[in-house]
């Protein structure tokens, strides 16, 4: 696991701040900087974000809806993901599957995804086909409909997806169980794909009601990146999205996580070749770029994760997986920097042969304690910053990453230049701050530990193949 920053954070704008960290050759020959993104709002409340980048005759069109698994209620877990599947199943004028066939006929590729905080739909097409996909996407956003039998068939696809991706993966099941134990009030305790019991009892009207509730223009954003200009996209957005009827967005009630006051432990037993241990610590998250104790600590924790696991040969790699007395076959660290719900700092390891999960857990905590006791050197600190910022610059080559970043930032309520602001803030994180957070947040009271205990393989359980019709 190499988590430097949240996986959805893609390419921020190239800046002189970033160049100051690059090697001399890269700083002298930077890639051409794309035009800055622009944002405007249609009369029905829908947001439109445009990022011109004319280096290739292609465009990415994305529709983001600020609704995900965290907006579900108990008994309906997984409905956001099921609805994402159903948006490919027809409108008033399109038969089930016709949307995908038309995008393919345009020479494009398309898919969708559901997260805790958002749902997204995207197409990558030749730039001259932008209006065609905008027309298609606006139609299914406003006019999604399908017969009950189509829902029942697709629900079986989603259930098989859950079996294949979660229930047949011991580590995935451990993390699902760990999240459910870590969070009590936060909706992050529920899996994105949903509990199987909720999927079994889900009805077509459940998905339709969720669609009517959340798929309102004021709760959505269109993101276009690539070989386009802002005036063109504005005109097309007003033409195809602007006429969708405005509707109010439901109020979201805060569901703060109550303080944890002691270590929690869970075990999961499943057929597996190796044991596995995962540690989840509750930590502060970045809510703005204002310098506050919580925001400053969230940034320092992100740098700490990079110090531990930001590159090959980082501290966890050296301390746990190398040498004749190595404790683990692999080890990782990650920090949830921001999101609509509470965030975690995670450590995990696969114990080496002859080593126990308890030994791997102790070794993970020892590495954090070493940072708390001894700190990090300035050279080590600059190394992880340099690697991250250089990686962000190179991501500029992907218009998909640019569009995904902008939609993700919008869904979190963050400004479009959050990536650039993040670089500025991370530049200022000091070794003393990293040492301080290593000492402050890794006690028992905010910790949940999950351990996978291997069982022998079950010969009666058949191997699964990916379900036909799966969207992703």
pLDDT exceeds 50 at position 14: no
Which one of the listed residues 38, 72, 84, 361 is annotated catalytic?
Answer: 84
pLDDT exceeds 80 at position 28: no
pTM score, whole prediction? 0.89
Q: Does 32-240 match 264-455 in CATH topology?
A: yes
Where helices occur in 34-123 by DSSP H, the ranges are 79-86, 98-105
Q: Find the helix packing angle between 418-427 and 399-411, rounded to 10°.
A: 90
Contact call for residues 38 and 431 (beta carbons, < 8 A): no
Encoded tokens for 419 = 């990536």
**pLDDT range class, residue 35, cuts 50, 70, 90:** confident
Residue range 224-267, pLDDT digits in tens: 999 999 999 999 999 999 999 999 999 999 899 999 999 999 99
State how far the alpha carbon of 244 is from the alpha carbons of 35, 122, 268, in Å: 29, 19, 48
Compute CA 342 distance to the chain's CA centroid, rounded to the nearest angstrom: 14
pLDDT exceeds 60 at position 3: no
Q: Tokens 């390891």 — which residue?
A: 349
Residue range 145-204, pLDDT digits in tens: 999 999 999 999 999 999 999 999 999 999 999 999 999 999 999 999 999 999 999 999
Q: Where are the domains of the chain?
A: 32-240, 264-455
Asked: is 32-240 a CATH 3.30.830.10 domain? The reply is: yes
pLDDT exceeds 50 at position 344: yes
Rg (alpha carbons) of the chain, rounded to whole number: 23
**pLDDT range class, residue 470, cuts 50, 70, 90:** low
Q: Is 281 helix (H, G, I), strand (E, B) or coil?
A: strand
Sign of the dihedral defined by the CA atoms of residues 205, 206, 208, 209, in that order: positive
Q: Strand 38-41's sheet: what is its strand order?
A: 38-41, 47-52, 220-226, 58-65, 119-126, 109-114
**pLDDT range class, residue 22, cuts 50, 70, 90:** very low
CA distance 442 to 446: 7
Residue range 399-448, pLDDT digits in tens: 999 999 999 999 999 999 998 898 889 989 999 999 999 999 999 999 99
User: Any idea which architecture 264-455 has in CATH?
Assistant: 2-Layer Sandwich (3.30)
Q: Is residue 167 flagged as an active site residue? A: no
């Amino acid at each position: 696991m190499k988590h430097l920053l949240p996986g959805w954070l893609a390419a921020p704008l190239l800046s002189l701040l970033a160049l100051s960290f690059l090697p001399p050759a890269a700083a002298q020959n930077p890639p051409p900087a794309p035009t800055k993104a622009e944002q405007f709002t249609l009369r029905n409340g829908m947001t439109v974000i445009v990022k011109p980048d004319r280096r290739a005759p292609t465009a990415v069109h994305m529709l983001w809806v600020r609704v995900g698994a965290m907006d579900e209620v108990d008994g309906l877990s997984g409905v956001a993901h099921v609805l994402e599947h159903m948006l490919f199943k027809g409108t008033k004028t399109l038969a089930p599957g016709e949307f995908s066939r038309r995008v393919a006929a345009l020479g494009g590729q398309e898919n969708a995804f559901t997260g805790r905080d958002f749902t997204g739909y995207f197409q990558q097409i030749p730039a001259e086909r932008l209006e065609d996909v905008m027309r298609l996407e606006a139609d299914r956003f406003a006019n999604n409909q399908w017969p009950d039998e189509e829902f029942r068939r697709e629900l079986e696809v989603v259930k098989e997806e859950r079996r294949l991706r979660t229930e047949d993966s011991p580590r995935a099941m451990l993390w699902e169980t760990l999240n459910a134990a870590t969070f009590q009030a936060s909706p992050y305790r529920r899996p994105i794909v949903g509990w199987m019991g909720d999927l079994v009892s889900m009805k077509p009207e459940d998905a339709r009601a969720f669609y009517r509730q959340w798929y309102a223009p004021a709760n959505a954003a269109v993101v276009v990146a690539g070989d386009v200009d802002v005036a063109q996209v504005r005109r097309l957005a007003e033409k195809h999205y602007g006429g969708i009827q405005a509707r109010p967005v439901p109020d979201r009630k805060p569901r703060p996580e109550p303080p944890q006051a002691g270590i929690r432990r869970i075990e999961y037993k499943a057929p597996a070749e190796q044991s596995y241990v995962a540690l989840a610590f509750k930590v502060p998250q970045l809510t703005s770029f204002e310098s506050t104790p919580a925001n400053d600590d969230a940034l320092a924790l992100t740098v700490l994760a990079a110090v531990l696991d930001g590159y090959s040969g980082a501290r966890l790699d050296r301390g746990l997986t190398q040498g004749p007395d190595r404790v683990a076959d692999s080890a990782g660290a990650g920090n949830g920097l921001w999101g609509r719900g509470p965030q975690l700092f995670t450590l995990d390891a696969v114990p080496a042969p002859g080593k126990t999960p308890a030994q791997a857990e102790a070794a993970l905590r020892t590495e954090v304690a070493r940072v708390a006791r001894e700190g990090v050197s300035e050279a080590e600190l600059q190394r992880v910053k340099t690697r991250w910022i250089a990686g962000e610059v190179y991501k500029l080559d992907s218009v998909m990453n640019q569009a995904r970043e902008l939609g993700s930032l919008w869904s979190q309520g963050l400004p479009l230049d959050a990536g650039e602001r993040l670089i500025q803030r991370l530049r200022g994180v000091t070794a003393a701050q990293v040492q301080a957070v290593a000492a402050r947040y890794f006690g028992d009271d905010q910790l949940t530990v999950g351990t996978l205990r291997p069982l022998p393989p079950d010969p009666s359980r058949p191997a699964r193949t990916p379900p036909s019709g799966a969207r992703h």
